Chains A and B, each alone.
Chain A
Amino acid sequence: MKYKISIFSFCLFTILLVSVTLMPKKQTGTIVLITQQKTFIAGDKIILDFKGNSSNKPKLFLIHSLGKTLLDGTIKNDKLTFILPRIYAEKAGHIDWFLAVNGENKLHGNFEILPNNGTKTNIENYLGPPSTLVGDDHFVMYVTIPTDDFDNPKPENTLVIFRSQFLNAITTQTVKTKDLIAWKIIKAPTKSGIVLVSAQCNATITKEFNAVIFAGIATNFMISFIRNHQFADGNQITTLKTTIIKDKFGNVVSDGTMVSFIISTTGGMVLKSFGTTINGIATAQILHPDHQDVYTVKAYVAGIAESNSIAINYMPINPKIEFGFSKDNRTIIVGPLRSFMNQLVPDGIKVSLKVYHHNQLIATLQEDSEKGYAVFIISSEYYKEKKYSFEISTLGSSEKVEEKKYDSN
């Protein structure tokens, strides 16, 4: 009996030993993937089932488009189940998974999540540059990024309809998505204006986008002038004016195009005046000279276009200069100064007085006219000599004054 028991216990012991040594191998060695589905649709419930019993909690490592994470499975009757979290199940792309048991990668596999075409389509769209010039292969580019409602880019070859309108022409073109986007080049017409564009993918339509087509650069133009009278009175204004400046397609150049008027005088001086276009016409103003002169004017759109050259003649007034001295000769009153039709000159006409001593120029004084008169004071403080002679000039004429005597204090 004792013998039997010992045999029995020996057998039991061996069985136990064998089972103990075999068991762990069985536990970890036989996990297989049950789920055979290789593609899923974003937003679906995605479940990976494995067969195999394992007491030491295998974990599933996921690598997806934006994220990586570790999942805990649930075990039920030899079936190991992993449910993808919503954020991973809603993201399209290629997922790789690694099943880790006790720090070892036991299984590795992958599957694909496709964008969900059943959800609402969203379109993100960009028009750039928002404006361009007419013709000459200028264009704007309209880029659309159609996505499903989970923000997954639509699969390749999804159709996007592009529409554009300019004046009477409305065009429609269908483009397939490639590299996550669908895009179209909108060529600039030869007429300036606004091209409206919009896109449609499935039932989703975008707002209209404006591509502003600006006129091209200016071509050569003409200039003219208008003035009140032809006298060099130093007071009136001559207005310079361009014709309507157009680009080569006949579009009026954009408002605000800067035109520079370059004026050369007979004395070789260069004067400048500027104007910007409104409805293609730029105007600029210049002051009449205060002596006889011929202004030669030419206008430029810098580096782009130029005008013809015109000459403007200014007639001299040559007024008779009247003047009077005070008792002590220290105050000189010039005037009344008369203009071309005997009216008093406007205020602010320059009158200059040259002071000579023994025919040597000592000083040049300058005063503005006021109510037709200009007043000079020869102060005893500065002019201490006994004799001075003078020359008065204004509006192109001049008058010499013979020597005057002065008391020295």
Chain B
Amino acid sequence: MIVINNKNNYRSILIISFIAINVLVLFGISEILGYLNSGADRSSMLHLEKETSNTYLPKVTWETLKNQGRTMEAQTIRKIEEHYLFSYVIKNNALKNNINDGIEDYFTESTRRQLEQVISYNKTRKISIRSTTIEHHASLDFYSEDGQQVVFTDKNVVEFQNIYQDNKLIASVRDTANYKVLMLLEDGFWRIRHYVRMQKEKSLVAVELNKKIYTVKGNEILKNGVPYIIKGINYYPKNSAWDMFGNKFNRDTIAADFEIITKAKLNTIRIFVPYEEFGKAEIPQEKLDKLKIVLDLAEEKKLAVIVTLFDFYGDYSPESWTLTHRHAEKIVTIFKDCKNIIAWDIKNEPDLDFQLHGEQNVKPWLEQMIVTVKKFDPNHLVTVGYSNIESGEILKDKVDFVSYHYYEDSSLFEDKLAVLEKATKKPLVVQEFGLSSNRGLWSWFGNSKNVQANYHKKMQSIFKKKKLAFVSWTLYDFPEVPDKVAGKWPWIKNKQKQFGFIDSEGKKKPSFLYINN
């Protein structure tokens, strides 16, 4: 009773509620002020230079700048190219979302009107076109004396588009054409005045350089003309799984591991280049240096390398394609003369992305990427490592050899392989296989180390019998596996940790006996 009727209680309630109301009022006022201060940045009123980088980077080459008019200045041609590409960004965006944003900056008035009609036509029919261009081979035709008009031919523009109606995919189209473009300089913007589509030119056949060490003949991979059977292993350093080129990068660790691999009479490793960590379209030199160190160390130990690109890449939408092309261009151009690379593996298990990112995006991306990689590096083979043996048939005619991963029952392997062998005449590589020895707290019914050893023994006997190329998963048990690989659930993560031939303490597991035979 005393507690309830205590005057002090009323006082404290009054004071606390007074303070609380004040706090709320102040909070409310600050929110309102904050809201009023947000919005348009003052700098947006100015017409500042915009950057194209990291939005749209198709390959643009100027075949010639010679023309009958004024001599082209390096500065101007850069600006023209930049604004021309911007016009594509704007147009692609307009056709995708059916909006007119930015059109007035990059198209002159009469062209703008036509484009707006196109957009409103598509809008009423709920048509959405997601497109990108891949290559531009421009050659200058005319540059006026006053520097205000320019005409050029954009030859064999490769375009890819997915066409949707009512959010349903209608068609996927890859197409090549020439464009004659007339641009005018207005208010500091090079704007498109005329844009005439023309028949494409007969494409020039690239001269093939005979610098290849690894080649393919029938269903065999050859090294300097002699059949070469890949006996390989997927490699990550023990303490930096899925983060090989990060802060824990250590030359000595990698050298020691390569020593183990060579001693185990393996001849190949497969490594992974993560897309985002490698800076997307602009790769930091430091990462390239690290990759070079790994390749050099492998060469010292006479190990051939399959380099898997685009690890953890997961945006296949046509709008982002050009960035991935610049990423691939940079890497494969630098290492195109590297002698111990067998192949560029475009992407690890892309078939798993079909569901989430749409087969209509993933497949054409792979197809285009194979072409792009081959264009910038004609010396090395190209493959795609699919997640299962059935997916091996995807794009089988585009890759140099077919790679697939096999984590199913070893007894079914030969039958499944026979199906794939029937489907393609190209060389086949089991690019990942293995078994986790994960019996323990998280998995009472998991496999023991001996079961793992038996599995490898069985698989190796098949490989030996059929002279098959293999790349096993993996050298080490990993103490840590990042969430992005196997998710957060400990029982799944734990399984992923124990695929190795050597445990996390560095001791060889029974399976090590069967790493190679």
Chain A interface residues toward B at CB < 8 A: 59, 61, 63-70, 72, 85, 87, 91-96, 98, 100, 103-105, 110, 112, 126, 128-129, 139-141, 143, 145, 147, 151-153, 178-181, 183, 185
Contacts and interface: CB of A to CB of B under 8 A. Distances in A.
B131 interface: yes
Contact of B180 (A64, A129, A180): A180
A153 B161 CA distance: 27
A149 B471 CA distance: 66
A141 B69 contact: yes
A143 B144 CA distance: 8
Contact of B196 (A61, A85, A178, A180): A180
B64 interface: no
A100 B145 CA distance: 47
B180 A179 contact: yes
A180 B145 contact: no
Nearest to A141: B145
Contacts of A98: 171, 173
B89 to A, nearest CB: 15
Contact of A59 (B147, B171, B182, B198): B171
B95 A68 contact: yes
Contact of A126 (B115, B121, B148, B169): B148
Given A68-B161, A69-B118, 8 more contacts: A67-B122, A69-B129, A70-B170, A94-B177, A98-B171, A153-B194, A179-B141, A179-B153
A65 B194 CA distance: 9
Contacts of A129: 145-146
Nearest to B112: A66
A145 B173 contact: no
B171 A105 contact: yes
B151 interface: yes
B159 A67 contact: no
Given A70-B125, A103-B171, A126-B144, A145 B182 contact: yes
Nearest to A65: B197
Given A59-B165, A63-B173, A66-B118, A141 B146 contact: yes
Interface in B39-83: 69
Interface string B158-182: 0101010100011111010111101
Contacts, number: 130
Nearest to B178: A94
Contacts of B182: 145, 153, 180-181
28 contacts: A59-B165, A63-B177, A63-B197, A65-B195, A66-B91, A66-B195, A67-B114, A68-B163, A69-B125, A70-B170, A87-B114, A87-B118, A93-B198, A95-B197, A103-B169, A103-B171, A105-B172, A105-B173, A126-B144, A140-B145, A141-B145, A145-B182, A152-B196, A153-B182, A180-B151, A180-B194, A180-B196, A183-B69
A92 B196 contact: yes
Nearest to A152: B196
Interface centre among A61, A95, A140 (most CB of B within 10 A): A61
B141 to A, nearest CB: 4
A175 B152 CA distance: 19
Nearest to A128: B146
Contacts of A94: 177-178, 197-199
Interface SS, B side:
strand
A230 B170 CA distance: 98
Interface of B: 69, 91, 95, 110-111, 114-115, 117-118, 121-122, 125, 127, 129, 131, 141-142, 144-149, 151, 153, 159, 161, 163, 165, 169-173, 175, 177-180, 182, 193-199
B115 A67 contact: yes
A245 B142 CA distance: 39
Contacts of B142: 179, 181, 183
A65 B111 CA distance: 11
Contacts of B69: 141, 183
Interface centre among A72, A98, A180, A183 (most CB of B within 10 A): A180
A213 to B, nearest CB: 15
Contacts of A61: 163, 170-171, 173
Contacts of B144: 126, 128, 141, 143, 183
Nearest to B69: A141
Contacts of A95: 197
Contacts of A68: 95, 118, 129, 131, 161, 163
A181 B145 contact: no
Contacts of B172: 105
A178 B67 CA distance: 12
B206 to A, nearest CB: 24
B121 A85 contact: yes
Contacts of B151: 179-181
Contacts of A128: 144-148
A104 B196 CA distance: 28
Contacts of B197: 63-65, 93-95
Nearest to B200: A94
A93 B196 contact: yes
B149 A70 contact: no
Contacts of A87: 114, 117-118, 121
B196 A153 contact: yes
A96 to B, nearest CB: 6
A173 to B, nearest CB: 16
Nearest to B111: A66
Closest 7 CB pairs of A and B: A128-B146, A67-B118, A100-B171, A141-B145, A93-B197, A179-B141, A65-B197
